[in-house]
Structure 1
C-alpha cells in the first residue's frame, strides 16, 4: 500500500509542526483569516487538478463560502450537497483505509495582505483549528503539507513564504479520508474548514511550547508551580509576588481552583521576545482509596455531554454561542462537561477555566461502525493505525494541558478494545501524569484510572456502588462514573432523581454526564428543524440526533429544568422537627455564604406572606434544621405550603443576584374545612337528551353533549398517548419497547361499547366497555353523573378484564371543547410539563398559560405538556369558560389537535391547530424512562392495568355559567 493517495494513507500528517499548548493571550501579532473564501466543489478527490494553488490562478468564476463553515450548509438549494446523520454506521463501505471515489472535494482560496505594522523578522505559523475530514495546504504556490484529525489543531511554518501583499492560501478538503474511520462520532457528517484559520507571527527565539504545572496540597494550603518552557524565560505572578525563571519550582500559599470556586491567578511567561498570558489554577486530581478526588475532596459530577453545534452553522460555533452554553450550564447547576467526542474549540476551555466546570477532555476518536462487523479490522487493534492514534492523543494533550478545568483525559469513545488504546494511555501518562485517564469502551479497565459505563440501570449502579459488581478484581477498586446516562431524547429523561440518590449514597458512584447537551436539529426550509433523512441521505438514523437538554435554538427543554432541580447543590426539604426546614449543602467545596435564602407562604397557590430566612453558611456536606417563622393566617379550608428558595446573594459572572439556585416546598397542615353535603337534583330525560344539572348527556350512549353550557364532543375513556422517543425504545430491549407493544395491542384504536344507561333520581350511571380490536382484554368503565343543580360531578370507575400484557400509556377521560377556550389557569404542579418520573421540578402554585404555551416543541412531535397534581383547572376564552376540579388531584393536557394527529406528525409544522380543544383529564400516566438508549421506566412508575376510581367536578364560568343557569 505504498502508493496510497495521501488522504487514504495510514499516516496522520505531513509537513506540520509538532503540537503545542495554545493560548489566545499573547502579544505576538496575529491575523485571522476567516471570512468569505473562493470555493469550488468537485464530486471526487481527483476530479480537478491542483493548478488552483498557483498564485496567478483566476478564481473569478468560483462561488464563495464562509470560513469557518461547512460547505454543505451553504450555497443555494443544496448546490454544495447536504448534511448526513448516522449514529453508528459509516456512510461509506468499510474497507480501511480506503474511501469511495464519490468523495466530495472542496477547493478553497483566500487572498490576503499582511496588515500594516506586521513585525519584520522572526517567523510565522499558519494555524488550522479544525477541518473535516482532511486538508492539503499551499501558500503562494508552495505545498506546505497535509493533515487529518478533524477536531485537532495543526500548524505549518510559513515565515519564509509570506509576502507583504497578495498572499494566496489554497486548501483542498476531502469529505472522506482514512481519518474518517476514526471519527464515527454519532453526529452530522459536515465537511469544511469549520474552525478558525489564523496567521501567527513568531518572534525570533519564541517558545515552541510551555507547560504549566500547578498542583495544590490541601493539607498545607500551598501550591507548587513550575512553568516548563523549551527556551529560557521568566514567569511572573504579581498577586503571589513571584518572579522566577521558567523551569524553576516554587511553593506558595494559594487558594485552590475548583468548579465551584474557579480561582485563577493571572501571570505571564516572557520568553524569546514573546509575552504569553498565564491563567493559573492550582488543583490536584487523583484517585485515592478508590475515589476520584480534587484537592482532597470527593468530586460528584453533575455533568452533560456536549457536542459542538449550532442549528445554522453546524460545528462552526462562535464565541458568543460558546459563552451562552457555559452560562446556561452554570445557571442549571451543571458542574461538569465531557467533550464528546473530540476536543472542543479551544475558547470553550478558557470559559470553563473562568466560570468553573470540571472537564473530561476527549480525544478525536471513535470507531463505532466496526461493532457492526464484530470489530473486525478495528483500527485501535491494528498497529498500522497506532501512529495516527498517538498523533491524536498528543494533539489533545499538548493543546489543552494548561487548562485547570481539564481533570481527566479521555482516549476516545466507543472504539472497542485494542493495543492502540494502551499505547495512547501510556503516552498520555508519560507526558502528563497529573491527570487520570478515562475510556469507557473496554470493560477490563486495563488502561484507565476510572471505571466508566454508559446507561447502566439503577439496580446495577447500586451494585457497583457497593463494589459487588462482577468483573476484574482491580476494577472494583476504581471510582465509578457514568460517562453517558439519562438519554435526553424527546420527552424525558425519566429517573434522574433516582440516579442522583444513588450517587449521593455510594461514595464510589461519582455522578455522570447526561446524553446530551443540545438537539442537533438543523434549520430546514420545510420542517423548521431537520434531522436524519430530511436532507436526502440514503443512510441515516432519523431523529436520534435530537437527544439534547436544549432545543436547537438553545431554549431549555423540560428535561433541563428537571435536571437543574435534581442536581441542585442545596437540598431544601421538611425538617424532622415541626416548624423547621432542613437545608443541606451538597456542594463539593463551596459553603453557602454566596447564597441568600427567602420564604414564601402560599394558600391555595396565592401569596400570603414572604420574608428572608436566616440560614448559616454551612460548609460543604453540612446540614441544618432552620426554624420557619410563625405561619400566617389562611382562609378556612385553604391548602397552605411554604416555599423556600436559595438565590445568588450577589452577581456572578454567569447570572445576576437573585438567580434561583435551589428551592423546596414544605407542606403546612391545612385548616379543617366545614363538611358540606350537596343535594343531588334528579336528571331530566327529554328528546334524546338527559339533563344532569348544567350538563346534558346523550340518552343512547350516555356521553356528554354539554358541560357547563359548552358543547362537548369525543368524550370517552382514553388510554393512548402519542409515544415518546423513550416509549419507542431501543431495538436491543424489545420486551419493554412499549410504544411498539402498545400499537401491536391496538391501544391507539380502542373501541367503545355502551352496555347500559341507567337514570335514577340520584343521577345517571353509564356502563361502557373499552377494548382493542382482535383482543379478548378490555376495561369495564362505569361513569356516574350527578349534579346539585350548579355543578356537575363525574365519578369514574375502571376495572380491567383479562390479562393485560403491558402497562397502560395513560388512564383518564378525554373530551373536545370549543377552541375559543384559549386561556388556561390551574392550581397544581407547574409551570412546565411533568410526568411520574420527571416531576422533581414541578412546584405547587397557581399558573397561567395559553393553550399554545402548554405545548412542548419537541423536534419530533410526541406526547408532551402534561401538568401534574392539578387541584383545579380553568379554561376560558370568548367570555366563556369551564372549571374542572379533581378528586383526587389529576393530570391534564390541552391541545388543538388529537392524539392521533400528534402521533402522525414527524415535524413541528405538521401540527396544525384545529377548531376543537382536546382536553385530557388523567388519573394516572405511565412514566417516561430513558429507553431511547438507556434504561426503561422503573417499576414504580409503570401504569399497570388495575382497578381505579377517580372523579371530576365541572363548573361553568362566564357566559357558560349564565347559559347553564348557574
Structure 2
C-alpha cells in the first residue's frame, strides 16, 4: 500500500504525461453500472508540496478539520487562493520543465459505497478533467499520476476497490506541473478537479471502445456504416433495417439522410454484446478536401463561427450542462454554425449537444506554449514543441483527444493546438492522427508553411490579405496555395465591437477558397464580484492581486459572463443571417438562401411599411421555397401612399418551431426606402431680444445655450473625444488610435472665445479649441437662428493644423436636466450602430430610457451610439422635454456621466450617475474595427479632421 509508483515528487517536473493511466478511449455511456462521484469532497490546500500532509491518502487519516469543496469545481473560486489571468506570459519562471517550489497543492478525499455485486467485476476510475497534475489513491493504493488538464484520465481500480464496503478516494492536485508549460492559453489559471468523476463497472465481455465510421456518398445518397470494436459486438440501426449486424464490417445501408450542421439528422442505434449495451446516435457525413476546398457531403461549406472557451462567472471552467445547452441555443439563434474549441477539448457532453443541435466543430488539442514566443525570444528557444523530451506528452494529448471524441459527427477537423510555434512534435502528432483517423483534416494555425496540416489558417489578416488569398495572388509556397483558407480568429469582440464584420463576410462569399472563420471570442471571462456597497460587477486580471497579469484582455467576448448578448453578437447575427433581402429597384427585392444544405421551405416573409417609424400597412410576401444558395427576385406588394419618410421592412421568419428556435424567429431582414424625407430648412426670422432668440436663452459672456423654454441647458460645445474603446486602444493591434488621440490632447481640449456677434436675427460664436502644449486645434463657429417654436444651430468645424489620424467623433455635447429620462428617436436602432457596425440596425422609431440606452461593457468605454438619427425627443415622466432634429442626420448618445468619467472608469461600479443627462450630437464617429488584437478600423470608416458641418434644430415639446 502507499506510494508504490512514485516515492517522491519528481513527476511534477517530468514532461512525461504520467504513469498508471489506462489507454485512451472514446467517451460513452452504457447500461453497465456506474457510480457518480461528484459532490462534496473534503479539501485541504497547502502553499507548497513540502507542506502538504504526507499521509493524507491513508484510509485512517483524520480530515475532520478540512474544508468542504464541491467537485467538480476550481478551488480558487471557493475561497482557497486566488485566480490569476495572463494571456501570453507565464505566471512562473520559464525554466522548463521545472516549476516553483511555491506550488499550491490541493488534497481531496471522499468516501463512497461500492455495491457487493461489483465483486469480481473490473472497475475503472475516470476523471474528465483535472488542472494541472494529479496523483490518485484508492483505499490507500496508489493508482497513478496524470497531467493534461482538459483531457480524461482513467485508472484501473479493480484491485483497490472494496465491493460491498466503504471506499476512500484520495487525490492530490498540484497547481503547477511540467504540463503547465504546454497549457499557456489565454484564460484564467484555475486549479482542481473541475470536471466529472465516475467509477465505472467494466463487465467481462463488455465494450471497452468503439469507432463509428458513417460515410455518405453525396452522388448516390447512400450510406456506409462500419463500427470498429476490439471484441465481437452487434450493431443495430432499426430505422435503416440493420439488426444485430457484425462490427468491423462495412455495411451498405442504402439511402440515408445525411448529417450536417444545418439539418443534423441522426439515427438512433445500439452497440451490444451479451454483457453490455451502448446507445448510439449516428450521423452519416463525409469530410473531404476536394480541388482545394473543404467539403462536407460533397458541398463546400462556409464557417460562420466563434471561438469558445468554457467559462462561467461563478464556476470557471466547471460549466453546468444546462448552461452549455442554453449557450449553444443562443449561438444557433444568432446564426452561428461553427465552433473552434479554443484552446482545448471541451467537456465531452458539449460535443453531444453539437451533434444534436448542429455545429461544425474544430476540436483543438490542449497544447499552447505562447510564452515562449514573445518578441524578444525570436525563434522560440526552449519551446517544448521542438524538444524531443516533450514528444510523448504532445502525442499523448493528441491521442486522448482523438480517441475521446472520434465518434462525434460534429467534429470535422482536428487541431494540433494553438500558438505553440512549430516543431517536430507537431509532425509526430499529425502523422499519428492521419493514421488513426484519415476521415478528418488537420488544422493548426501555427504551421504557417502548412507542412503538417490540411488547411491554410490565419489570425486577424487585413482585408487586403484575405482578398489576395481568395484570388490566389498572395506570395506563398505551393503547400499553402492548394489548401482551403480559414480564419481561425479574424475579428476581436473586445468591448465595443468588432467592426467590419460585413466586409470580411463579403470576401468569404466572393471567393470559394475563403471558407469563413471564427470570431474571437464567444464569452467575456469576468468573474462575478461585489463592491463594498454591494453592487455586482465582473472582475478581470489584476482584481485578485496578481503580480503579473494581462488586465481586462480576458473580457473579449460576444456575450457577457452571464451570457447576455452584446451589440457585437447582434451585429454578427445580422452578418451571418442565412436569408438576405436586398432592394434591386423600386419594384422588387432579391431574396437569397445562404444556407449550404437547408432549403427555405418553412419560412414566412412578413412586410411592414412605416411612415416616419409608425406602421401604415403590413402583410406577407409570397416567396417560393429556395434551395441552398438559390436566390429569387420578388415583386414588392402594393403599398399605400404616405406623406413622410417611409421604409418597407421585410423579415424572414420561421413558420414552424425548430429544435433551436420557436416559430417567428427571424432568419434575416432587409429594408427598402419607399419615400424619402421632405427637405427641411433651419428655422429663421425671429428677432433677437437681448440674449434671447426664439425659445432659447444664451449666456451673455460665452454665447452658449443656457435655457430652452425655461428648461436649463448647458452647452452645446464642440466635442471630439470619446471614451476609447478597446479597439481604439489597440493592445495587440496594428494601430493604437487612442494613444494618438491622447498625444494630441483630444481628451483635454480648452475652448477660447474668439468672437461673439449678436445680429438682429442671429447669434454667432467663434471659438478656437485646442489642448495645452499643442499647436494644432480647431476653429468652431456656432450660428444660431430661430423662429417662435424652435432654435437652430449651424456648426462649422475646421481643423487648424495637421491631424494625421482619424478623429474619435465630431459634434457637440450639452447637458440637460436628469429628469429627462426617456429618449424616443427616429433613425437607426434599436441597438447601437457605428460606421462599420450597423448591419443589425434598421431605420425605425424606437424608445429607450437613458439607463437602457447604455451598454454596460465590463470595462467601461464608448457605447450606446445610434446613427442616422432624424430626430429625437427627450421627455420627463410628465411628457415635458424637447426635440432635436436635423435637415440631415446625426449620431446620438445619451448618458448620465461624462465621457471623461467614462474614460476613467475601470469597472461599471465606477460610473456614478450625475443629476443631468449628457447628450452628444455628432456629425459622426470613427468606426470600431478590431484593433484590440487585429486590424484597426477600415479607411472608409475613419472620420477625418474636417471641415465638418452639423445642423440641429431644438424645439421644446408642447
Q: Establish whether TM, by shorter chain, passes 0.5.
A: yes
The alignment status of 1:69 with 2:70, answered yes or no, reads no
The match for 2:37 is: 33
3-state DSSP of counterpart to 1:156? strand
The alignment status of 1:444 with 2:449, answered yes or no, reads yes
Query: CA deviation digits over 1:234-264, x for unaligned, max 9?
Result: 0000000012101121122111100001010
Query: CA deviation digits over 1:494-519, x for unaligned, max 9?
Result: 11000000100111100000000000
Q: What is the deviation of 1:611?
A: 1.1
Q: What is the deviation of 1:761?
A: 2.2
Q: What is the deviation of 1:643?
A: 0.7
Q: Is the 8 A contact 2:682 2:887 kept in 1?
A: no
3-state DSSP of counterpart to 1:391? helix
Distance of 1:714 and 1:62 partners within structure 2: 63
- What TM-score do the two structures reach when normalised by structure 1? 0.96
Query: CA deviation digits over 1:160-218, x for unaligned, max 9?
Result: 32222321000000000000001000100000100000111111121221000011110
The match for 1:723 is: 724
Q: What is the deviation of 1:741?
A: 1.1
- What TM-score do the two structures reach when normalised by structure 2? 0.97
Q: Is the 8 A contact 1:121 1:204 kept in 2?
A: no
The one of 379, 383, 388 aligned to 2:384: 379
Q: What is the deviation of 1:319?
A: 0.7
Q: Is the 8 A contact 1:232 1:272 kept in 2?
A: no
Q: Specify whether residues 2 and 98 from structure 1 end up closer, same or farther in structure 2 by C-alpha distance, changes over 3 A only.
A: farther
Q: Is the 8 A contact 2:623 2:634 kept in 1?
A: yes
3-state DSSP of counterpart to 2:740? helix
Q: Specify whether residues 428 and 169 from structure 1 end up closer, same or farther in structure 2 by C-alpha distance, changes over 3 A only.
A: same
Q: What is the deviation of 1:670?
A: 3.8
Q: What is the deviation of 1:892?
A: 0.6
Distance of 2:635 and 2:719 partners within structure 1: 46
The match for 1:295 is: 297
Query: CA deviation digits over 1:371-413, x for unaligned, max 9?
Result: 1233111111001100100000100100000000000000000
Q: Specify whether residues 956 and 732 from structure 1 end up closer, same or farther in structure 2 by C-alpha distance, changes over 3 A only.
A: closer
In structure 1, stretches of 5+ residues that fail to align are 962-966
Q: What is the deviation of 1:825?
A: 0.7
The alignment status of 1:711 with 2:712, answered yes or no, reads yes
Distance of 1:66 and 1:801 partners within structure 2: 64
Distance of 2:709 and 2:209 partners within structure 1: 78
The alignment status of 1:226 with 2:226, answered yes or no, reads yes
Q: What is the deviation of 1:677?
A: 8.7
The alignment status of 1:456 with 2:461, answered yes or no, reads yes
Distance of 1:342 and 1:301 partners within structure 2: 19
The match for 1:846 is: 845
The alignment status of 1:633 with 2:641, answered yes or no, reads yes
- Residues matched between the structures, number: 942
The one of 425, 437, 449 aligned to 2:430: 425
Q: What is the deviation of 1:803?
A: 1.5
Aligned CA-pair RMSD: 1.5
3-state DSSP of counterpart to 1:314? coil
Q: What is the deviation of 1:616?
A: 1.2
Distance of 1:588 and 1:945 partners within structure 2: 44
The match for 2:440 is: 435
The one of 361, 371, 375 aligned to 2:363: 361
The one of 601, 612, 617 aligned to 1:593: 601
The match for 2:282 is: 280
Q: What is the deviation of 1:714?
A: 4.3
The match for 2:400 is: 395
Distance of 2:258 and 2:471 partners within structure 1: 31
Of 869-878 and 95-104, more deviation after overlay is shown by 869-878
Distance of 2:54 and 2:402 partners within structure 1: 34
The one of 536, 559, 562 aligned to 1:550: 559
Q: What is the deviation of 1:937?
A: 0.6
The one of 662, 687, 702 aligned to 1:656: 662
Distance of 1:239 and 1:377 partners within structure 2: 55
Distance of 2:915 and 2:231 partners within structure 1: 76
Q: Specify whether residues 493 and 672 from structure 1 end up closer, same or farther in structure 2 by C-alpha distance, changes over 3 A only.
A: closer
The alignment status of 1:574 with 2:579, answered yes or no, reads no
In structure 2, stretches of 5+ residues that fail to align are 1-5
Distance of 2:764 and 2:479 partners within structure 1: 67
3-state DSSP of counterpart to 1:159? coil
Query: CA deviation digits over 1:919-940, x for unaligned, max 9?
Result: 0001111111101001001000
Q: Specify whether residues 207 and 82 from structure 1 end up closer, same or farther in structure 2 by C-alpha distance, changes over 3 A only.
A: same
After the TM superposition, list the runs of 4 or more consecutive aligned residues in structure 1 that deviate by more than 3 angstroms.
1-4, 117-121, 670-673, 675-679
Q: What is the deviation of 1:779?
A: 1.2
The 5-angstrom pairing of residues 168-183 of structure 1 reads: 168-183=168-183
Of 641-650 and 493-502, more deviation after overlay is shown by 641-650
Q: Is the 8 A contact 2:733 2:933 kept in 1?
A: no
The match for 1:951 is: 951
Distance of 1:714 and 1:846 partners within structure 2: 27
Q: What is the deviation of 1:700?
A: 2.0
The match for 2:888 is: 888
Query: CA deviation digits over 1:461-506, x for unaligned, max 9?
Result: 1011111111212211110000001100000001100000010011
Q: Is the 8 A contact 2:733 2:935 kept in 1?
A: no
The match for 1:608 is: 616
3-state DSSP of counterpart to 1:614? coil
The alignment status of 1:57 with 2:65, answered yes or no, reads no
The match for 2:106 is: 106
Q: Specify whether residues 677 and 702 from structure 1 end up closer, same or farther in structure 2 by C-alpha distance, changes over 3 A only.
A: closer
